[in-house]
Amino acid sequence: MDENKTSNNEEKKIIFSGVQPSGNLTLGNYLGAIKNWVELQKDYSCIYAMMDLHTITVRQTPADVRRRTFEVLALYLASGIDPKESVLFIQSQNPNHAELGWVLDCYTYMGELQRMTQFKDKSAKHAENINAGLFTYPVLMAADILLYQADYVPVGKDQMQHIEICRDIAQRFNALYGDVFTIPEGLLSKTGAKIMSLQEPQSKMSKSDPNPKAYISMMDDMNVIAKKIKGAVTDSEGVIEYREGDPAKAGVNNLLNIMSAVTGKNVNDIAADYSGKGYGDFKSDVADAVVECIRPIREEYDRIIKDKEYLMQICRDGAEKARYLSSRTMRKVYKKVGFVQL
């Protein structure tokens, strides 16, 4: 049976996504991405990658990249992503990503890349290393998606610009050569909540934040997690109330969003439960809820990460599946642009 068919021969829609192994994954990565990916396995044909090619636009320590690649894979598995249901692989283990990235470079305009917000942000942060890869990484990202004829890409609202340029590149190529690529759509998270920094709650929680108190790493000790949440920035009002878009309540809003994401309860219902109570009790309960969410994942992660041969086998099997699935797209692309195929 074809990998993308269900038992009743109805074709499943394809989803592609991945995370860079460039740092310890945060609670934001889990709640905003990986937790949703687990649910998507039920209804879609899912392809999830460790995006190591993208990490080297910023200088990395090679040993750290290798270690974190396996950590990301173990966290995927511990969170509930099933390698029998989904394709799990390391991006660099499928050369088709880099090959299609080059072809699509030749169909992408400089002006499009210059408008990318993330290029501007990373250039400002890494002024000493504004390399060509940093400039063209949206094209590689488009290749990642288009290789597998993905119908949907799970994204946050701040990542929709990447989907738009991917769609533009695919539509331009299709206009020249016919129906080659599926035009993907962004699939916004059901929760819709972005997890923000615990210390600067108007900024997104980031694994690259220089302040470790600002983010919760999925690798943190449970006591450290609780301490970070109890030390989270709130405000001087002393009122637990959800006011979306109000900068004064950004810290409280963030904690309410975190509590909602780990418990499944509505933010306004949570706020109502704490009417008349102080921030201390609220933060303590948020800390307990987050710890109970992360603890079973960490326990399973700690078991899996020790089994290196199992992880290597997952990588080998996933790479083989990824190369097989993407090779069909590459043959079509190479034929369209006129390359000789043996």
Q: What residues are annotated to the active site?
A: 122, 204, 207
Long-range contacts for 128-131 (Cβ within 8 Å, ≥24 apart)? 129/58, 129/59, 131/57
- Exposure b/e, 171-210, CB count within 10 A at least 16 = b: ebbeeeeeebbbebebbebeeebbbbbbbebeebbbbebe
CB atoms within 10 A of CB 68: 25
What are residue 18's DSSP bridge partners? 49
Question: Are 151 and 106 contacting, i.e. CB atoms less than 8 angstroms apart?
Answer: no
Q: What is the distance between the alpha carbons of residues 321 and 327, in angstroms, rounded to a whole number?
A: 10
Q: What is the distance between the alpha carbons of residues 340 and 10, in angstroms, rounded to a whole number?
A: 35
Pick from 266, 267, 282, 284: nearest CA to 225: 284
Question: Are 73 and 50 contacting, i.e. CB atoms less than 8 angstroms apart?
Answer: yes
What are residue 49's DSSP bridge partners? 18, 89
Pick from 223, 154, 207: nearest CA to 27: 207
